[in-house]
Chain A
Amino acid sequence: MVDDAASDDAGVDPEPAAGGVEPAEDDGPTTGNSEAIARAFADGPAYIPYLAVGDPDYESSLEYVEALERGGADLIELGLPFSEPIAEGPTIQGAVVRALEGGMTPDRFFEFVEELDVDVPLVCMTYYNLIYQWGEASGPRPFVERAAEAGLEGFVVPDLPAEEADPLRDACDEFGLDLVFIVAPTTEGDRLDRIMSRVSGYVYVQARLGTTGAQDDVSDRTAASLDRLREYDVPKAVGFGISAGEHAERIVAAGADGIIVGSALVDIVAEGAEADRSAETVADRLEALSRELVEGADRGYRARSPTADSR
Chain B
Amino acid sequence: MSETTPNADRDETQRSTAVDPADPADPTPVPGETDGKFGRYGGQYVPEALMPAIEELTDAYQRYVLENEDGFMDEFRRRLREFGGRPTPLQHAERLSERYDRDVYLKREDLLHGGAHKLNNALGQVLLAKYMGKSRVIAETGAGQHGTATAMAAAHLDMPCEVYMGERDINRQRPNVFRMTLNGTTVTPVTAGRGTLKEAISETMRDWAGSVEDTHYVIGSVVGPHPFPAMVRDFQSVVSEEARRQALETIDELPTDVVACAGGGSNTMGSFAAFLEDESVSLHAVEAGGSDLSIDEAAGVAPNSASLYAGEEGVLHGARTKLLQDAHGQIVESHSVSSGLDYAGVGPELAHLADEGRIHPAAVDDDQALEAFHLLSRTEGIIPALESAHAIAYLETVAGPENEGEADAESEVGSGSETAGQEADALGDAVVVTVSGRGDKDLESVIEETAARDIDGAPDMSAFTGGI
Contacts and interface: CB of A to CB of B under 8 A. Distances in A.
B11 A129 contact: no
Contacts, number: 153
B316 interface: yes
A163 B23 contact: no
Contact of B47 (A87, A185, A194): A87
A190 B26 contact: yes
Contacts of B11: 166-167, 169-170
A211 B331 contact: no
A82 interface: yes
Interface in A239-293: none
Given A139-B6, A159-B47, A211-B206, A105 B328 contact: yes
Contacts of A161: 44-48, 51
A184 B52 CA distance: 9
Interface in A153-174: 158-161, 163-164, 166-167, 169-170
Interface in A192-236: 193-195, 197-198, 206, 209-211
Nearest to B327: A133
Given A82-B330, A159-B315, A210-B209, A167 B7 contact: yes
B6 A138 contact: yes
Interface stretch (B28-36, B178-186, B268-276, B283-291): B28-36
Nearest to B203: A86
Contacts of A186: 49, 51-53, 212-213
Interface of chain A, main secondary structure: loop
A100 interface: yes
Contacts of A211: 206, 209-210
Interface in B175-195: 192-193
B399 to A, nearest CB: 38
B316 A84 contact: yes
A58 to B, nearest CB: 16
A34 interface: no
A129 B48 contact: no
B56 to A, nearest CB: 10
Given A132-B315, A190-B28, A211-B210, A159 B46 contact: yes
Contacts of A158: 47-48
Contacts of A132: 314-315, 329
B44 A164 contact: yes
Nearest to A163: B31
A87 B315 contact: no
A187 B52 contact: yes
Given A190-B25, A190-B28, A93 B45 contact: no
Interface in B283-318: 300, 313-318
A301 interface: no
A193 B47 contact: no
A183 B48 contact: yes
A188 B53 CA distance: 12
A13 B325 CA distance: 36
A184 B28 CA distance: 19
B468 interface: no
B43 interface: yes
Interface string A77-117: 00000111111110001000000100001110000000000
B210 A209 contact: yes
Contacts of A194: 18-19
A43 to B, nearest CB: 29
A163 B28 CA distance: 11
Given A86-B206, A87-B209, A187 B51 contact: yes
B317 A163 contact: no
A86 B52 contact: no
A86 B44 contact: no
A169 B16 CA distance: 12
- Of the listed residues B7, B48, B327, the one surrounded by the most CB atoms of chain A closer than 10 A to its CB is B48
Contacts of B46: 86, 159, 161
B302 to A, nearest CB: 13
Contact of A163 (B25, B44, B300, B331): B44
A270 to B, nearest CB: 15
Contacts of A139: 6-7
A228 to B, nearest CB: 13
A166 B6 CA distance: 12
B12 interface: yes
12 contacts: A86-B205, A88-B206, A129-B329, A129-B331, A139-B6, A158-B48, A163-B44, A182-B47, A184-B48, A184-B52, A206-B48, A211-B206
Closest 8 CB pairs of A and B: A210-B210, A133-B329, A184-B49, A166-B11, A166-B15, A83-B330, A197-B18, A129-B315
Given A89-B206, A130-B329, A161-B45, 17 more contacts: A82-B330, A87-B49, A87-B206, A88-B206, A106-B329, A133-B327, A139-B6, A163-B44, A166-B14, A166-B15, A182-B48, A186-B52, A186-B212, A188-B52, A193-B20, A209-B49, A211-B210
Interface of A: 20, 82-89, 93, 100, 105-107, 127-130, 132-134, 138-139, 158-161, 163-164, 166-167, 169-170, 181-188, 190-191, 193-195, 197-198, 206, 209-211
Interface of B: 6-7, 10-12, 14-15, 18-20, 23, 25-26, 28, 30-32, 43-49, 51-53, 55, 192-193, 198, 202, 205-206, 209-213, 300, 313-318, 323, 325, 327-332
